Amino acid sequence: MDAREVLARVRDARGLTAEQADWFARGLASGEVTDAQAGAFAMAIRLNGLDAPGRVALTRAMRDSGQVLHWDLPGPVVDKHSTGGLGDSVSLLLAPALAACGCYVPMISGRGLGHTGGTLDKLESIPGYRTDLTVDELQKLVRETRCIITGASADIAPADRRLYAIRDVTASVESIDLITASILSKKLAAGLEALVLDVKVGSGAFMKTMDQARALAQSLVSTAQGAGCMTTALITDMNQPLGCSAGNALEVLEAMETLTGTAVNQALWDLTAALGGEALALAGLAADADEGAQKIDDALETGRAAEIFGEMVAALGGPLDFVERFPDRLPAAPVMREVRAAGTGFVAAVDAEALGMAVVRLGGGRLKNGDRINPSVGLSELVMIGERVSPDLPLAMVHAATEAEADRASAAVRAAYTLADTEPDEPDLIYERIG
Protein backbone atom coordinates (compact mmCIF):
# COMPACT_ATOMS: atom_id res chain seq x y z
CA MET A 1 0.00 0.00 0.00
CA ASP A 2 1.06 3.60 -0.55
CA ALA A 3 0.35 6.40 1.98
CA ARG A 4 -0.96 8.57 -0.89
CA GLU A 5 -3.75 6.07 -1.54
CA VAL A 6 -4.94 6.39 2.08
CA LEU A 7 -4.53 10.16 2.11
CA ALA A 8 -6.49 10.61 -1.14
CA ARG A 9 -9.43 8.67 0.30
CA VAL A 10 -9.59 10.71 3.48
CA ARG A 11 -9.00 13.95 1.53
CA ASP A 12 -11.99 13.12 -0.71
CA ALA A 13 -14.16 11.98 2.23
CA ARG A 14 -14.43 8.46 0.81
CA GLY A 15 -13.94 6.80 4.24
CA LEU A 16 -11.13 4.69 5.64
CA THR A 17 -11.12 0.90 5.35
CA ALA A 18 -9.85 -1.38 8.12
CA GLU A 19 -6.96 -2.44 5.88
CA GLN A 20 -5.94 1.15 5.16
CA ALA A 21 -6.24 2.13 8.83
CA ASP A 22 -4.06 -0.84 9.83
CA TRP A 23 -1.44 0.01 7.26
CA PHE A 24 -1.33 3.68 8.26
CA ALA A 25 -1.21 2.98 12.04
CA ARG A 26 1.60 0.46 11.54
CA GLY A 27 3.44 3.02 9.40
CA LEU A 28 3.03 5.66 12.11
CA ALA A 29 4.49 3.28 14.69
CA SER A 30 7.37 2.07 12.49
CA GLY A 31 8.27 5.43 10.96
CA GLU A 32 7.42 4.32 7.41
CA VAL A 33 4.78 7.07 7.32
CA THR A 34 6.56 10.44 7.23
CA ASP A 35 5.72 13.46 9.42
CA ALA A 36 4.32 15.24 6.34
CA GLN A 37 2.04 12.31 5.57
CA ALA A 38 0.92 12.04 9.21
CA GLY A 39 0.18 15.79 9.29
CA ALA A 40 -1.84 15.56 6.05
CA PHE A 41 -3.75 12.57 7.45
CA ALA A 42 -4.63 14.40 10.68
CA MET A 43 -5.69 17.55 8.85
CA ALA A 44 -7.80 15.66 6.30
CA ILE A 45 -9.65 13.94 9.16
CA ARG A 46 -9.96 17.23 11.05
CA LEU A 47 -11.56 18.84 7.98
CA ASN A 48 -13.65 16.00 6.54
CA GLY A 49 -14.32 13.76 9.52
CA LEU A 50 -14.65 9.99 9.36
CA ASP A 51 -17.79 7.91 9.18
CA ALA A 52 -18.56 5.52 12.07
CA PRO A 53 -16.86 2.45 10.49
CA GLY A 54 -13.78 4.56 9.67
CA ARG A 55 -13.58 5.77 13.27
CA VAL A 56 -13.80 2.22 14.60
CA ALA A 57 -11.19 1.07 12.06
CA LEU A 58 -8.76 3.84 13.07
CA THR A 59 -9.29 3.17 16.79
CA ARG A 60 -8.70 -0.57 16.41
CA ALA A 61 -5.67 0.01 14.18
CA MET A 62 -4.06 2.47 16.62
CA ARG A 63 -4.83 0.11 19.54
CA ASP A 64 -3.16 -2.75 17.65
CA SER A 65 -0.09 -0.68 16.67
CA GLY A 66 1.57 -1.82 19.92
CA GLN A 67 1.09 -4.35 22.66
CA VAL A 68 -2.51 -5.25 23.56
CA LEU A 69 -2.93 -6.79 26.99
CA HIS A 70 -4.80 -10.05 27.51
CA TRP A 71 -5.93 -11.13 30.94
CA ASP A 72 -6.89 -14.38 32.56
CA LEU A 73 -8.27 -13.20 35.88
CA PRO A 74 -11.13 -14.32 38.13
CA GLY A 75 -12.98 -10.97 37.77
CA PRO A 76 -13.84 -8.45 35.06
CA VAL A 77 -11.20 -6.00 33.82
CA VAL A 78 -12.64 -2.47 33.85
CA ASP A 79 -11.54 1.15 33.78
CA LYS A 80 -12.72 4.77 33.75
CA HIS A 81 -11.57 7.68 31.60
CA SER A 82 -12.25 11.37 32.11
CA THR A 83 -11.92 13.94 29.33
CA GLY A 84 -10.22 16.27 31.83
CA GLY A 85 -11.10 18.94 34.32
CA LEU A 86 -10.04 20.71 37.49
CA GLY A 87 -9.98 19.30 41.01
CA ASP A 88 -10.96 15.91 39.65
CA SER A 89 -9.29 13.19 41.70
CA VAL A 90 -12.06 10.62 41.11
CA SER A 91 -9.59 8.08 39.66
CA LEU A 92 -7.81 7.86 43.03
CA LEU A 93 -11.06 6.84 44.73
CA LEU A 94 -12.67 4.88 41.94
CA ALA A 95 -9.84 2.52 40.96
CA PRO A 96 -9.50 1.02 44.48
CA ALA A 97 -13.29 1.10 45.05
CA LEU A 98 -13.87 -0.94 41.87
CA ALA A 99 -11.14 -3.33 42.96
CA ALA A 100 -12.85 -3.69 46.35
CA CYS A 101 -16.04 -4.67 44.47
CA GLY A 102 -14.35 -7.54 42.61
CA CYS A 103 -12.97 -5.82 39.47
CA TYR A 104 -9.42 -5.69 38.17
CA VAL A 105 -8.38 -2.16 37.17
CA PRO A 106 -5.30 -1.59 34.98
CA MET A 107 -5.73 2.19 34.84
CA ILE A 108 -3.36 3.67 32.27
CA SER A 109 -3.48 7.39 32.99
CA GLY A 110 -2.08 10.58 31.54
CA ARG A 111 -0.44 13.80 32.63
CA GLY A 112 -1.96 17.26 32.87
CA LEU A 113 -3.01 18.75 29.53
CA GLY A 114 -3.41 22.54 29.26
CA HIS A 115 -5.23 23.81 32.34
CA THR A 116 -6.43 20.34 33.42
CA GLY A 117 -4.75 18.12 35.99
CA GLY A 118 -3.34 14.68 35.25
CA THR A 119 -3.60 11.60 37.45
CA LEU A 120 0.06 10.65 36.96
CA ASP A 121 1.28 14.09 38.04
CA LYS A 122 -0.92 13.82 41.14
CA LEU A 123 0.36 10.37 42.07
CA GLU A 124 3.98 11.44 41.59
CA SER A 125 3.52 13.78 44.56
CA ILE A 126 3.59 10.59 46.69
CA PRO A 127 7.29 10.01 47.47
CA GLY A 128 8.65 6.95 45.65
CA TYR A 129 5.48 6.20 43.60
CA ARG A 130 6.49 4.75 40.21
CA THR A 131 4.44 5.64 37.13
CA ASP A 132 6.74 3.99 34.57
CA LEU A 133 5.85 0.30 34.83
CA THR A 134 6.63 -2.06 32.00
CA VAL A 135 3.74 -4.03 30.57
CA ASP A 136 5.01 -7.18 32.35
CA GLU A 137 5.17 -5.38 35.71
CA LEU A 138 1.67 -3.97 35.16
CA GLN A 139 0.27 -7.42 34.45
CA LYS A 140 1.91 -8.95 37.51
CA LEU A 141 0.87 -6.16 39.88
CA VAL A 142 -2.75 -5.96 38.67
CA ARG A 143 -3.08 -9.66 39.44
CA GLU A 144 -1.67 -9.10 42.94
CA THR A 145 -3.28 -5.83 44.07
CA ARG A 146 -6.31 -5.69 41.70
CA CYS A 147 -5.78 -2.04 40.83
CA ILE A 148 -2.77 -0.23 39.44
CA ILE A 149 -2.64 3.35 38.19
CA THR A 150 0.35 3.91 35.93
CA GLY A 151 1.51 5.64 32.73
CA ALA A 152 1.38 4.21 29.21
CA SER A 153 4.61 2.39 28.40
CA ALA A 154 6.17 3.00 25.00
CA ASP A 155 4.68 -0.32 23.88
CA ILE A 156 1.06 0.87 24.29
CA ALA A 157 -0.52 2.42 21.15
CA PRO A 158 2.71 3.89 19.69
CA ALA A 159 0.78 5.15 16.63
CA ASP A 160 -1.18 7.47 18.92
CA ARG A 161 1.95 8.83 20.57
CA ARG A 162 3.35 9.83 17.16
CA LEU A 163 0.08 11.14 15.72
CA TYR A 164 -0.75 13.10 18.89
CA ALA A 165 2.59 14.95 18.76
CA ILE A 166 2.01 15.79 15.10
CA ARG A 167 -1.59 16.94 15.72
CA ASP A 168 -0.29 19.20 18.45
CA VAL A 169 1.87 21.15 15.98
CA THR A 170 -0.52 21.06 13.00
CA ALA A 171 -3.65 22.57 14.60
CA SER A 172 -5.51 19.29 14.28
CA VAL A 173 -6.07 18.34 17.93
CA GLU A 174 -9.72 19.52 17.95
CA SER A 175 -11.29 16.70 15.98
CA ILE A 176 -13.86 14.44 17.61
CA ASP A 177 -12.75 11.54 15.36
CA LEU A 178 -9.07 11.95 16.26
CA ILE A 179 -9.76 12.55 19.97
CA THR A 180 -11.94 9.41 20.01
CA ALA A 181 -9.32 7.21 18.36
CA SER A 182 -6.55 8.67 20.52
CA ILE A 183 -8.29 8.19 23.89
CA LEU A 184 -9.73 4.77 23.08
CA SER A 185 -6.65 3.27 21.43
CA LYS A 186 -4.73 3.63 24.70
CA LYS A 187 -7.62 2.55 26.94
CA LEU A 188 -8.57 -0.47 24.83
CA ALA A 189 -4.95 -1.63 24.55
CA ALA A 190 -5.26 -2.39 28.28
CA GLY A 191 -7.58 -5.28 27.35
CA LEU A 192 -10.72 -3.92 29.05
CA GLU A 193 -14.06 -5.67 29.17
CA ALA A 194 -15.91 -2.56 30.31
CA LEU A 195 -15.20 1.16 30.32
CA VAL A 196 -17.03 4.10 31.85
CA LEU A 197 -16.37 7.58 30.50
CA ASP A 198 -16.67 10.88 32.32
CA VAL A 199 -17.20 13.52 29.63
CA LYS A 200 -16.87 16.94 31.23
CA VAL A 201 -18.75 20.03 30.07
CA GLY A 202 -18.38 23.64 31.19
CA SER A 203 -15.94 26.46 31.83
CA GLY A 204 -13.13 24.14 32.97
CA ALA A 205 -13.67 21.42 30.35
CA PHE A 206 -12.36 21.11 26.80
CA MET A 207 -16.01 20.81 25.70
CA LYS A 208 -17.65 24.10 26.67
CA THR A 209 -21.17 23.36 25.41
CA MET A 210 -23.60 20.51 25.92
CA ASP A 211 -23.77 19.89 22.14
CA GLN A 212 -19.99 19.42 21.92
CA ALA A 213 -19.92 17.18 25.00
CA ARG A 214 -22.80 15.07 23.70
CA ALA A 215 -21.13 14.65 20.31
CA LEU A 216 -17.88 13.51 21.96
CA ALA A 217 -19.68 11.18 24.38
CA GLN A 218 -21.69 9.58 21.57
CA SER A 219 -18.58 9.16 19.42
CA LEU A 220 -16.60 7.59 22.28
CA VAL A 221 -19.38 5.23 23.34
CA SER A 222 -20.32 4.03 19.85
CA THR A 223 -16.67 3.60 18.81
CA ALA A 224 -15.67 1.71 21.97
CA GLN A 225 -18.69 -0.54 21.61
CA GLY A 226 -17.87 -1.01 17.91
CA ALA A 227 -14.38 -2.09 18.96
CA GLY A 228 -15.84 -4.68 21.36
CA CYS A 229 -15.74 -2.96 24.76
CA MET A 230 -18.95 -2.43 26.78
CA THR A 231 -19.04 1.31 27.45
CA THR A 232 -21.26 4.03 28.87
CA ALA A 233 -20.60 7.72 29.43
CA LEU A 234 -21.83 10.28 31.92
CA ILE A 235 -21.76 13.94 30.90
CA THR A 236 -20.79 15.76 34.09
CA ASP A 237 -20.38 19.32 35.26
CA MET A 238 -17.12 21.22 34.98
CA ASN A 239 -18.45 24.78 35.47
CA GLN A 240 -16.49 24.80 38.72
CA PRO A 241 -13.77 22.56 40.16
CA LEU A 242 -15.07 19.14 41.20
CA GLY A 243 -13.26 19.01 44.53
CA CYS A 244 -12.25 22.00 46.65
CA SER A 245 -8.54 21.55 45.83
CA ALA A 246 -6.60 21.94 42.58
CA GLY A 247 -2.92 21.05 42.47
CA ASN A 248 -1.15 17.72 42.68
CA ALA A 249 -0.40 16.96 46.35
CA LEU A 250 -3.43 19.00 47.43
CA GLU A 251 -5.73 16.81 45.33
CA VAL A 252 -4.14 13.62 46.66
CA LEU A 253 -4.72 14.99 50.17
CA GLU A 254 -8.39 15.70 49.41
CA ALA A 255 -8.87 12.28 47.81
CA MET A 256 -7.24 10.58 50.81
CA GLU A 257 -9.40 12.54 53.25
CA THR A 258 -12.47 11.35 51.35
CA LEU A 259 -11.19 7.76 51.03
CA THR A 260 -10.38 7.53 54.72
CA GLY A 261 -13.50 9.43 55.83
CA THR A 262 -11.46 12.05 57.71
CA ALA A 263 -13.05 14.93 55.67
CA VAL A 264 -15.38 13.78 52.91
CA ASN A 265 -15.79 15.87 49.78
CA GLN A 266 -19.35 15.01 48.80
CA ALA A 267 -19.08 15.86 45.09
CA LEU A 268 -16.00 13.65 44.71
CA TRP A 269 -17.72 10.82 46.57
CA ASP A 270 -20.99 11.13 44.61
CA LEU A 271 -19.33 11.20 41.19
CA THR A 272 -17.13 8.25 42.17
CA ALA A 273 -20.23 6.27 43.17
CA ALA A 274 -22.14 7.21 40.00
CA LEU A 275 -19.28 6.29 37.62
CA GLY A 276 -18.45 3.16 39.61
CA GLY A 277 -22.11 2.12 39.60
CA GLU A 278 -22.13 2.29 35.80
CA ALA A 279 -18.91 0.27 35.58
CA LEU A 280 -20.15 -2.45 37.95
CA ALA A 281 -23.43 -2.75 36.03
CA LEU A 282 -21.55 -3.04 32.71
CA ALA A 283 -19.23 -5.65 34.22
CA GLY A 284 -22.17 -7.73 35.49
CA LEU A 285 -21.29 -7.20 39.17
CA ALA A 286 -24.47 -5.19 39.87
CA ALA A 287 -28.03 -5.50 38.58
CA ASP A 288 -28.04 -1.83 37.57
CA ALA A 289 -26.12 1.41 38.08
CA ASP A 290 -27.98 2.24 41.31
CA GLU A 291 -27.07 -1.08 42.91
CA GLY A 292 -23.53 -0.58 41.64
CA ALA A 293 -23.34 2.89 43.20
CA GLN A 294 -24.45 1.39 46.52
CA LYS A 295 -21.61 -1.14 46.32
CA ILE A 296 -19.12 1.65 45.67
CA ASP A 297 -20.52 3.55 48.68
CA ASP A 298 -19.92 0.44 50.80
CA ALA A 299 -16.36 0.04 49.51
CA LEU A 300 -15.64 3.65 50.49
CA GLU A 301 -17.48 3.55 53.82
CA THR A 302 -15.88 0.34 55.07
CA GLY A 303 -12.37 1.60 54.31
CA ARG A 304 -11.75 -1.34 51.96
CA ALA A 305 -11.03 1.05 49.06
CA ALA A 306 -8.55 2.99 51.21
CA GLU A 307 -6.83 -0.26 52.16
CA ILE A 308 -6.43 -1.27 48.48
CA PHE A 309 -5.14 2.23 47.64
CA GLY A 310 -2.49 1.75 50.34
CA GLU A 311 -1.54 -1.66 48.89
CA MET A 312 -1.19 -0.11 45.42
CA VAL A 313 1.02 2.74 46.73
CA ALA A 314 3.25 0.25 48.59
CA ALA A 315 3.48 -2.05 45.55
CA LEU A 316 4.60 0.91 43.41
CA GLY A 317 7.38 2.04 45.74
CA GLY A 318 5.52 4.60 47.89
CA PRO A 319 5.45 4.73 51.71
CA LEU A 320 4.13 1.57 53.37
CA ASP A 321 2.14 3.66 55.85
CA PHE A 322 0.73 6.13 53.32
CA VAL A 323 -2.95 5.65 54.24
CA GLU A 324 -2.22 6.19 57.96
CA ARG A 325 0.27 9.04 57.53
CA PHE A 326 -0.64 10.78 54.24
CA PRO A 327 -0.70 14.37 55.64
CA ASP A 328 2.95 13.91 56.77
CA ARG A 329 4.04 12.13 53.60
CA LEU A 330 2.84 14.70 51.05
CA PRO A 331 4.95 17.79 50.20
CA ALA A 332 3.71 21.17 51.44
CA ALA A 333 4.36 24.59 49.85
CA PRO A 334 6.34 27.18 51.88
CA VAL A 335 3.85 30.04 51.27
CA MET A 336 0.16 29.74 52.17
CA ARG A 337 -2.09 32.71 51.55
CA GLU A 338 -5.81 33.25 52.06
CA VAL A 339 -7.53 34.98 49.10
CA ARG A 340 -10.38 37.29 50.10
CA ALA A 341 -13.36 38.08 47.85
CA ALA A 342 -13.37 41.48 46.13
CA GLY A 343 -16.97 42.19 47.26
CA THR A 344 -20.02 40.73 48.96
CA GLY A 345 -22.54 38.39 47.34
CA PHE A 346 -23.18 34.88 46.12
CA VAL A 347 -20.75 33.05 43.85
CA ALA A 348 -22.66 33.05 40.54
CA ALA A 349 -19.97 31.68 38.19
CA VAL A 350 -16.42 30.36 38.30
CA ASP A 351 -13.97 30.47 35.41
CA ALA A 352 -12.55 27.00 36.12
CA GLU A 353 -10.12 27.20 33.19
CA ALA A 354 -8.65 30.41 34.69
CA LEU A 355 -8.26 28.67 38.06
CA GLY A 356 -6.52 25.78 36.27
CA MET A 357 -4.15 28.20 34.56
CA ALA A 358 -3.42 29.82 37.94
CA VAL A 359 -2.35 26.38 39.20
CA VAL A 360 -0.21 25.82 36.09
CA ARG A 361 1.50 29.23 36.59
CA LEU A 362 2.17 28.42 40.25
CA GLY A 363 4.24 25.51 38.87
CA GLY A 364 1.57 22.82 39.33
CA GLY A 365 1.35 22.16 35.58
CA ARG A 366 3.41 22.57 32.43
CA LEU A 367 3.53 25.65 30.21
CA LYS A 368 5.69 23.74 27.73
CA ASN A 369 6.65 20.15 27.11
CA GLY A 370 9.21 18.87 29.61
CA ASP A 371 8.57 21.54 32.30
CA ARG A 372 9.14 20.20 35.82
CA ILE A 373 6.14 20.20 38.12
CA ASN A 374 6.15 21.45 41.69
CA PRO A 375 3.83 18.95 43.41
CA SER A 376 3.16 21.07 46.50
CA VAL A 377 1.59 24.16 44.91
CA GLY A 378 -2.02 24.88 44.01
CA LEU A 379 -5.32 26.02 45.47
CA SER A 380 -7.41 24.60 48.30
CA GLU A 381 -10.64 25.46 50.13
CA LEU A 382 -12.11 26.74 46.86
CA VAL A 383 -15.55 28.26 47.34
CA MET A 384 -18.30 26.81 45.13
CA ILE A 385 -21.21 28.26 43.12
CA GLY A 386 -24.06 29.38 45.39
CA GLU A 387 -21.89 30.07 48.45
CA ARG A 388 -22.04 33.52 50.05
CA VAL A 389 -18.76 35.45 50.24
CA SER A 390 -17.56 38.84 51.51
CA PRO A 391 -14.21 40.62 51.90
CA ASP A 392 -13.95 38.97 55.36
CA LEU A 393 -14.35 35.46 54.00
CA PRO A 394 -11.78 33.49 51.96
CA LEU A 395 -12.45 32.43 48.35
CA ALA A 396 -9.56 30.01 48.44
CA MET A 397 -6.18 29.26 49.94
CA VAL A 398 -3.16 29.68 47.63
CA HIS A 399 -0.16 27.36 48.13
CA ALA A 400 2.90 28.85 46.41
CA ALA A 401 6.67 28.53 46.18
CA THR A 402 7.23 32.29 46.61
CA GLU A 403 5.39 35.39 47.88
CA ALA A 404 5.42 36.91 44.37
CA GLU A 405 3.79 33.81 42.88
CA ALA A 406 1.20 33.84 45.66
CA ASP A 407 0.37 37.50 44.81
CA ARG A 408 -0.11 36.67 41.14
CA ALA A 409 -2.24 33.60 41.87
CA SER A 410 -4.39 35.51 44.40
CA ALA A 411 -5.28 38.10 41.74
CA ALA A 412 -6.08 35.35 39.22
CA VAL A 413 -8.35 33.55 41.72
CA ARG A 414 -10.23 36.77 42.55
CA ALA A 415 -10.75 37.48 38.83
CA ALA A 416 -12.05 33.94 38.21
CA TYR A 417 -15.04 34.42 40.52
CA THR A 418 -18.22 36.27 39.47
CA LEU A 419 -20.41 37.45 42.35
CA ALA A 420 -24.13 38.29 42.24
CA ASP A 421 -26.66 39.72 44.67
CA THR A 422 -29.14 36.89 44.25
CA GLU A 423 -28.52 33.25 45.07
CA PRO A 424 -27.96 31.28 41.83
CA ASP A 425 -29.03 27.69 41.18
CA GLU A 426 -26.21 25.25 41.89
CA PRO A 427 -25.17 23.30 38.78
CA ASP A 428 -26.11 19.62 38.62
CA LEU A 429 -23.24 17.16 39.11
CA ILE A 430 -24.41 14.83 36.31
CA TYR A 431 -26.33 15.99 33.23
CA GLU A 432 -26.81 12.96 30.98
CA ARG A 433 -26.01 9.32 30.52
CA ILE A 434 -25.03 8.07 27.06
CA GLY A 435 -24.87 4.37 26.35
Please check whether residue 63 is in contact with residue 184, taking contact to mean a CB–CB distance below 8 angstroms. yes
Catalytic residue among 59, 60, 64, 79: 79
180 is catalytic: no
Catalytic residue among 167, 200, 214, 329: 167
Question: At residue 420, what is the residue type?
Answer: A
- DSSP state letter for 371: P
Q: Would you list the DSSP string of 285-337?
A: SSSSHHHHHHHHHHHHHTTHHHHHHHHHHHHTTS-TTHHHHHHHHS---SEEE
Dist. CA 82–CA 178, nearest whole Å: 16
- Least distance in Å: CB of 185 to ligand URA? 9
If the CB atoms of residues 104 and 164 are measured against ligand URA, the closer one turns out to be 164
307 φ/ψ angles, rounded to the nearest 5 degrees: -60, -45
Q: Would you list the DSSP string of 155-215?
A: TS-HHHHHHHHHHHTTT----HHHHHHHHHHHHHTT--SEEEEEEEESTTSSB-SHHHHHH
- Least distance in Å: CB of 431 to ligand URA? 20
Catalytic residue among 161, 186, 214, 337: 186
Residue ranges in contact with ligand URA by CB under 6 A: 164, 178-179, 182-183
Catalytic residue among 59, 65, 82, 145: 82
Catalytic residue among 46, 80, 162, 200: 80
Q: Which residue is nearest to ligand URA (CB)?
A: 182
81 is catalytic: yes
Dist. CA 249–CA 331, nearest whole Å: 7
If the CB atoms of residues 140 and 366 are measured against ligand URA, the closer one turns out to be 366
Please check whether residue 336 is in contact with residue 399, taking contact to mean a CB–CB distance below 8 angstroms. yes
If the CB atoms of residues 182 and 236 are measured against ligand URA, the closer one turns out to be 182
If the CB atoms of residues 111 and 140 are measured against ligand URA, the closer one turns out to be 111
Dist. CA 173–CA 167, nearest whole Å: 5
- Least distance in Å: CB of 178 to ligand URA? 6
- Least distance in Å: CB of 179 to ligand URA? 4
- Least distance in Å: CB of 46 to ligand URA? 11
79 is catalytic: yes
Dist. CA 431–CA 209, nearest whole Å: 12
Cβ count near 143 (within 10 Å): 15
Angle between helix axes 403-416 and 352-359 (nearest 10 degrees) is 170
- Least distance in Å: CB of 10 to ligand URA? 17
HSE-CB for 113 with a 13 A CA cutoff: 13
If the CB atoms of residues 178 and 373 are measured against ligand URA, the closer one turns out to be 178
119 is catalytic: yes
- Least distance in Å: CB of 1 to ligand URA? 25
Order of strands, sheet of 430-434, starting from the edge strand that comes earlier in the sequence:
78-82, 194-201, 230-237, 430-434
Catalytic residue among 89, 91, 182, 260: 182
If the CB atoms of residues 148 and 183 are measured against ligand URA, the closer one turns out to be 183
If the CB atoms of residues 21 and 183 are measured against ligand URA, the closer one turns out to be 183
Catalytic residue among 187, 200, 214, 295: 187
186 is catalytic: yes
Catalytic residues, by residue number, are: 79-82, 119, 167, 182, 186-187
